Amino acid sequence: MAPFLFLAAALARPALQPDIAHHQQRRGFWLRTLHQWHWISSAVCLVGMLLFAITGITLNHASSIEATPEVTNRTATLPAPLLTSLGNRQERNAPLPDAAAAWLGDQFSVSIGARTAEWSDAEVYLSMPSPGADAWLSIDRETGAVEYERTQRGWISYFNDLHKGRNAGPAWGWFLDVFAVACLVFCITGLFLLYLHGRQRRMTWPMVGLGLLVPLLLALLFIH
């Protein structure tokens, strides 16, 4: 009887081996692909992740971090031809004429570009906020007197504003979108890698569950 059982097992083994080999080949393909996407996405978002982690701490303790704002106030007089170019514009929101914007940019070493100004009968007011700083410029439409003020709040405030995307412009907004997608790829590929390696690491899913349970409980119990 034993020889017959041995013969049956021997005949069945070749049929099973292709399935096992195919499964191992497919698993190896997904492992290589996931590892590749995982390390590429981690490389793309590494510096950004460090920046956002550090600024997350500074934002969380913003009230404990002292900063002394540095205020700069300067004045000038708009030349008569440029004052005339302002004309009798009645729009409430419109950019400054190119020549006036260029002169003011050179005078105060700022980039005005096509920023929208607020127009009234008495003055033209231009708000120029930027990461870590606030600035404004006012032009008296009768006398041409120009007043410029800038408040700089320091490097920590600068990076905190970058974290929030505050007054950072469209280019930084695109970077935030790309960075967010890279983080999603990094996390999702990491999740699949946990799934593939989870059988050999028994603490994998308890740790994943703990990562979900802790913030959920904190939100339910301590945030009101």
Task: Convert the pLDDT of each residue in 83-96 to its tens digit.
Answer: 998 876 667 888 99
The reply to whether the predicted model has a pTM over 0.95 is: no
Residue 37: C-alpha distances to residues 4, 46, 128, 131 (Å): 50, 14, 40, 33
pLDDT at 18: 66
- Report the chain's mean pLDDT, rounded to a whole number: 87
Confidence of residue 70 (pLDDT cuts 50, 70, 90): very high
pLDDT of 6 > 60? The answer is no
pLDDT at 24: 79
pLDDT at 2: 43
Q: In what order do the strands lie in the sheet with 133-140?
A: 70-77, 145-152, 133-140, 123-127, 116-119, 93-95
- pLDDT per position as a tens digit, 118-176: 999 889 999 999 999 999 999 999 999 999 999 999 999 999 999 999 999 899 999 99
**Number of Cβ atoms within 10 Å of the Cβ of 10:** 9
Tokens of 116: 């929208």
